[in-house]
Chain A
Amino acid sequence: GEDVEQSLFLSVREGDSSVINCTYTDSSSTYLYWYKQEPGAGLQLLTYIFSNMDMKQDQRLTVLLNKKDKHLSLRIADTQTGDSAIYFCAGRGDQGGKLIFGQGTELSVKP
């Protein structure tokens, strides 16, 4: 089945760019998502990309998809302390809409 992996921690300084990486195994994943989870809260959809796209930009967020390497990244420009959270990438195949989540990357933004 699908396996999604992420690095567990990332620490950056306020104002820098953050890049969170994700690799997946199922090349049939049609949609790939990035979610943000703040402490004690649910998951907030940040952005998503279709498998036929290479890049998607939405304000401070840029998603890059390398289908050959099965690699997905989320770049946050001008990272702020409010961006500190856990970021999950998730892939969705055609199995009834189920999402397969990575372990989550804890982003720490230092002033």
Chain B
Amino acid sequence: GAVVSQHPSWVICKSGTSVKIECRSLDFQATTMFWYRQFPKQSLMLMATSNEGSKATYEQGVEKDKFLINHASLTLSTLTVTSAHPEDSSFYICSAIRQETQYFGPGTRLLVL
């Protein structure tokens, strides 16, 4: 299968700071990556579609100025949570498409104090 990594695996930050999460496809190139958010005991909520070399497409209700996405290369997409607040605390998961199938990263747990 395909391998997708995320870094960091967990992060604790103070309210008002910005946090960057990296998503990498390790053994394949991905023109399209996705960012999800997952609350405890719930399903995944798609936040945005990240396209290499172009602007991300955000889902309805997701603030693009709050969640900045950059997909500068075929193996790396980043999600920056700007001016994080406690309500942004969540589990963030990315995925990348390889041969019509989405492969998921291990997730990043964010806790904003």
Contact = CB atoms under 8 A, between A and B. Distances in A.
B43 A98 contact: no
Interface in B31-59: 32, 34, 42-44, 46, 49, 57
Majority SS of interface residues in chain B?
strand
A44 interface: yes
Nearest to B108: A42
Contacts of B34: 97-99
Interface band, chain B: 20 to 34
A31 B95 CA distance: 16
A73 interface: no
A97 B102 contact: yes
Interface of A: 31, 33, 35, 40-45, 48, 88, 92, 96-99, 101-104
